[in-house]
Amino acid sequence: MANNIEDDLKLAIDKLGKGDELALDVGTGRARMAYALAKYGYDVVSIEYVINILKKARESTNLVNGDGKIVFIQGDAHHLPFLDESFGVVASYNAMHHMKDYKKAIDEMVRVCKCDGKILITELNESGKERVAEMHSQRGSHHESNIDIYDVVSYLNTAYNIKGEVYNAEYIDIFYSKK
C-alpha cells in the first residue's frame, strides 16, 4: 500500500518501463514525473505554464539530476510548441484537471506523440482528491478536481480510437496506451 501519492508514481512509470526515447512531461509542476522519467533513462522535455513553478522545479532537479536529461520550457499545454510526432512518450502526472480545457491539452499530446509512441496519463482518484484537498486546507488553500481518468480515457477513445489500460492505484488512476 502506498504511504503517499508520490509512491503511486512508481507504479505509473513502471507501466512504461525504462527507455531512451524523447519524452514530454505536460504540466510539470514539481517535476516528479519528469524526474522519474529521467531516472528511467528518458530524455525529458518538461512543459510548465507558471515560470516560478518552473524555476523551482529546475532548481530541485538540478540537485539530483547531474546528467542534464531534463529540459524545462515555459509553455502552454493547449498550444505545445513542438512539431507533430516529436516524442516517443507523452506523459502527464495529475495535471489534466488543472488545464482550462483538458481535451485541447490531450489533442496536443496526441499530435506531438509519434505514431508508434506511448501515452501515460494519471489523474487523482477519489482518495487522492480527498488527500490533496486535505493537504491544501491545512495550508489554507483550496484544491478541486472536476475530472477523473475516465474522462480522459473516454475522450482518447472517442476522438482518437485510442484504447489503453487503466490501472487503479491507491491515490491515482493510471492510463497507459500505445498511440
Ligand X SMILES: C[S@@+](CC[C@H](N)C(=O)[O-])C[C@H]1O[C@@H](n2cnc3c(N)ncnc32)[C@H](O)[C@@H]1O
Nearer to ligand X, 78 or 103 (CB): 78
As measured in angstroms, the least distance from the Cβ of 161 to ligand X is: 25
| Residues 36-55: x where in contact with ligand X by CB under 6 A, - otherwise, as a string | -----------xxxx--x--
By CB under 6 A, what part of segment 10-29 binds ligand X?
A: 27-29
Q: How far apart are alpha carbons 5 and 28 in whole angstroms?
A: 16
Q: How far apart are alpha carbons 147 and 152 in whole angstroms?
A: 8
As measured in angstroms, the least distance from the Cβ of 64 to ligand X is: 14
Q: Max CA-CA distance within the chain?
A: 44
Instruction: Count the helix, strand and coil residues of the chain and give each as a percent rounded to the nearest 5.
Output: 40, 25, 30
Grid coordinates of 46:
518538461
By CB under 6 A, what part of segment 82-101 binds ligand X?
A: 93-95, 98-99
Whether 24 and 47 have beta carbons less than 8 Å apart is answered as yes
Single-letter code of the amino acid located at 96? M
Nearer to ligand X, 51 or 115 (CB): 51
As measured in angstroms, the least distance from the Cβ of 160 to ligand X is: 20
Give the binding site for ligand X (CB under 6 A).
27-33, 47-50, 53, 76-78, 93-95, 98-99
